[in-house]
Chains A and B, each alone.
Chain A
Amino acid sequence: MLAAAGCGSGRTGGDSGGAGLVVGTTDKIFALDPAAAYDNGSLLVETQVYQFLMNFAPGEAVPKPDAAQKCGFSSPTVYSCTLKPNLKFANGNPLTANSVKFSFDRMLKINDPNGPASLLGNLDHTDAVDATTVNFTLKVANDQTFPAILPTQAGPIVDEKVFPADKLLDDDAIWKAKPFSGPYSITSYDKNKLVSYQANSDYDGLFGKPKTETVSTKYYAGSENMRIDVQNGDIDVAWRSLAPTDIDSLRGNDKVTVKEGPGGELRYLVFNMNTMPGANPAAKLAVRKALASSIDREALSTGVYKNTYAPAYSSVPQGVPGATEPFKDIYGAKPNKTAAAKFLADAGVPTPVDLNIQYNTDHYGSTASEEYAAIKSQLEATGLFKVNLQSTEWVSYQKERVKDTYPIFHFGWFPDYPDADDYLTPFFGTNNFLQSHFEDPRINAELLAEVTEPDNAKRMAALATVQHSLAADFIPILPLLSGKQIAVAGKNVSGVENTLDPSFKFRFGVLSK
């Protein structure tokens, strides 16, 4: 029999009712302050505790009103939202149009280098017209991506009575002040170790009442302990990131279920238009087309990644509205050595073509070594290529890739928001992020057409056009794989599949056991 030692010691009357549903993850929280956070670990928390004007309903990739009743363009450069009445934060403070204006002004004012303020590049200013009406004035008219930016990490609504207007607030000060109007509120916070959440009874938003009252998040240094814990039932759900081999072994485990959804992550090869092999632009394009005809994406998906990644046949991954598969249509789903040889022969490119390919393992995962070893053997098996692989640590990799050091290099992308344009304009527009010397007036025009097209059907057609153009006539990048979202859950847990969608928001509220 144990006795509490000493007078006045023992329980303090806190909750001992437990952890509720436990979610494990290896993603780390960078910060609770939305102005400082632009990472998956912070997004997981923000999804639960903050409310957004617009958000993605479970399973959907088109934004809908969340804290807002309605949103829409009131003029080509003004996007207007009307808030639901009587919204409030968990601390009792009211959530009004002023809170929204404060949140967006603050994001832009602080403009933290680690934060997501860059997503609001097209926002000129925000006005609180009255207690429930907010107007966003945009720099470029008819920006159809703006509604999809509101649910991103740039869009959480914060309490103006808690957050300072011009500087960041530390995590402890935030969670203790309860400036949360999302489905959950944080009840205990041990950063990147253990965080517990309680359903927020005042929540009035898109996700509806949470199915589970109490949820805890347990953080792991690596995937191995998380895998053991989920299969032993010590945690209910393992969400990001298990190794492909772990997932493969868990698929055969009768205590857990492996749930998959479209991921949005894209892995691809980037071609430096100046330094890649080929004596002239036509020869370079022929090399790119030959490569597009030689890669066996299916083998990479199944052999290397154990079906945790899917073959990608476009610059936009499947699952994102507007995605097509032009590489499959034009070059085929399977490698075609004859077609590859013809591309090279027609352009007068001598074979074997020497390829220097750079890849990275410390940012894109250690399995990248296997991935690129497989790519090398696939390409060399055609007899048309001789591949020299090199791997570089991420900090140097990032610097060197923009200095024309790498003729062909491995790259990856997680979307900021589930809109096809997020995979297109940043990479193929003027002064693009890849800095691989690709720029083309026709593509620029096609990109502008899809971004500013208000009619959804026409916009989808415009997106298909630009994807086809890129694959057929340019190939500035060669898409290889798109990542699935994978969560592993105990057999008694339901709802996981409902939150695995292209929005990349893992919503605790849909989970139950």
Chain B
Amino acid sequence: MSGQLLRYLGVRLLLIVPTTWILVTVVFFLMRVVGDPITAALGGRLPADQLAARKHAAGLDRPILTQYWDYISKLVQGDFGRSQDNRAITEVVSTYGAATLELVFWALIVAFAVGIPLGRYAATRRDTAADAGLRLFAILAYAAPVFFVGLLLKLIFSVKLHWLPASGRASTNVELALQHVSPKTNVLFIDAILYGDTGYLMDVLKHAVLPAIALGLLTAGVFLRLVRINLIQTLRSDYVDAARARGLSARVVTRRHAFRNALIPVVTVMGMYIASMLGGAILTERTFDWKGLGYQLTEYLTQRDFVAVQGIVTFLALVVAVMSFLVDLIVALIDPRVRF
């Protein structure tokens, strides 16, 4: 690895700290704007003195900056706080975060499998009816709300055709059985492989299909448009003309020379869309009763468990920051121009 690349990555790595700090600070103060969690949960149901005693016990009667410093100090030590039902947020994240990552993983596969080939196809058939149709599809896929797409998918594949399950990560008996696997990853398809039961694995995969499509289509539309426009531009470039002049067929030119370069911008924005996928995952998890971190976050929101919400949002912010760094790393490796 060259010194230039290392310097570039070092700067990007250092930028994670202020980025995360700003995110954490915004989350902390936003949570305080809506009031303290004790009053939100118990206000009106406890006498004022008992309410004050509980606030004191929770440290919520201290100056806001003291609370902030305390929160940041604990965060640095890996303490994200505890929920109202006394669960460590780190444990909540490790338990349910795996489910969300699993969903995002499958959704990304859908996004790549649908967006990239169709983008390439649309680019090579520019201004035809197929191209117009695919562009329309891309816009609709991006614009349609996840829950609406999810409802449609369930209506067709679960209610009408009975091909796929409508909700959950696995059938109840499979979920219970997979609790007895070691080491338990909480990523069910890995757990099913470790368990060594093909039927269970198929059950897990079948449950992942509809949520993955609902969430994946959102990003597939973006990928389709990006690949299409970049490939069209690349096919007009001088080096592609030179390749054609050497007598290479259109297919070879596209595959060997244009397509890889057209993918670079896709990788560049991928990090951003993975972050938006985490947002989409929250809605997807509710729609499909996929019990992941997004689902748990909405549970805590309805319970007004602000400490838990704050902890999970902070963790998600960290994930986004790390994702951005990884994407920067990948882009730097495949596109030397970004280091300058």
Binding site for B on A (CB under 8 A): 1-5, 8-16, 18-19, 22, 28, 31, 113-114, 170-172, 188, 190-194, 196, 216, 218, 220-222, 224-225, 228-229, 231-232, 234-235, 398-399
Nearest residue (CB) in B for A22 is B172
B311 within 8 A of A: no
B45 within 8 A of A: yes
Given A18-B176, A194-B175, A113:B42 Cβ within 8 A: yes
Instruction: List 3 tightest A-B contacts by C-beta distance, closest first.
Output: A14-B180, A18-B173, A225-B167
Q: Which single member of A11, A28, A225 contacts B180 (CB below 8 Å)? A: A11
Main secondary structure of the interface of A (DSSP, over half): loop
Measured in the bound complex, the distance between the Cα atoms of B194 and A378 in whole Å is 63
Measured in the bound complex, the distance between the Cα atoms of B203 and A18 in whole Å is 14
Chain A residues within 8 Å of B175, by CB: 19, 194
Among B85, B159, B295, residue most surrounded by chain A Cβ atoms (within 10 Å) = B85
Please tell me if the beta carbons of A229 and B193 are within 8 angstroms of each other in the complex.
no
Q: A113-B42, A220-B289, A399-B44 are in contact. List 12 more A-B contacts (CB 8 A).
A: A2-B201, A4-B194, A14-B179, A16-B180, A196-B176, A218-B172, A220-B167, A224-B151, A228-B158, A228-B159, A232-B166, A234-B171
Measured in the bound complex, the distance between the Cα atoms of B235 and A86 in whole Å is 85
Please tell me if the beta carbons of A31 and B85 are within 8 angstroms of each other in the complex.
yes
Nearest residue (CB) in A for B82 is A170
B225 within 8 A of A: no
Nearest residue (CB) in B for A9 is B194
Nearest residue (CB) in B for A395 is B44
Measured in the bound complex, the distance between the Cα atoms of B286 and A399 in whole Å is 30
Please tell me if the beta carbons of B172 and A19 are within 8 angstroms of each other in the complex.
yes
Nearest residue (CB) in A for B91 is A172
Please tell me if the beta carbons of A228 and B195 are within 8 angstroms of each other in the complex.
no
CB distance from A72 to the nearest CB of B (A): 35
B18 within 8 A of A: no
Given A225-B167, A234-B165, A10:B196 Cβ within 8 A: yes
Please tell me if the beta carbons of B176 and A232 are within 8 angstroms of each other in the complex.
no
CB distance from B311 to the nearest CB of A (A): 17
Measured in the bound complex, the distance between the Cα atoms of B288 and A351 in whole Å is 52
Please tell me if the beta carbons of A19 and B173 are within 8 angstroms of each other in the complex.
yes
Q: Which single member of B86, B195, B201, B291 contacts A170 (CB below 8 Å)? A: B86
**Segment 53-81 of B: residues with Cβ below 8 Å from A:** none
Chain B residues within 8 Å of A172, by CB: 87
- Report B34-60 CB contacts with A as 1/0, cut-off 8 Å: 000000001011100000000000000
Chain B residues within 8 Å of A11, by CB: 180-182, 195-196
Please tell me if the beta carbons of B299 and A228 are within 8 angstroms of each other in the complex.
no
CB distance from B135 to the nearest CB of A (A): 32
Chain A residues within 8 Å of B44, by CB: 398-399
Please tell me if the beta carbons of B289 and A221 are within 8 angstroms of each other in the complex.
yes
Measured in the bound complex, the distance between the Cα atoms of B83 and A192 in whole Å is 15
Measured in the bound complex, the distance between the Cα atoms of B196 and A3 in whole Å is 6
CB distance from B85 to the nearest CB of A (A): 6
Chain B residues within 8 Å of A228, by CB: 154, 158-159, 166-167
**Segment 164-216 of B: residues with Cβ below 8 Å from A:** 165-168, 171-173, 175-177, 179-183, 193-198, 201
CB distance from A26 to the nearest CB of B (A): 10
CB distance from B141 to the nearest CB of A (A): 23
Measured in the bound complex, the distance between the Cα atoms of B291 and A2 in whole Å is 26
Chain B residues within 8 Å of A1, by CB: 198
B162 within 8 A of A: yes
Nearest residue (CB) in B for A216 is B172
Chain B residues within 8 Å of A12, by CB: 180-182
Chain A residues within 8 Å of B289, by CB: 220-221, 225
Please tell me if the beta carbons of B172 and A113 are within 8 angstroms of each other in the complex.
no
Chain A residues within 8 Å of B291, by CB: 190, 193-194
Chain B residues within 8 Å of A18, by CB: 172-173, 176-177
Please tell me if the beta carbons of B162 and A9 are within 8 angstroms of each other in the complex.
no
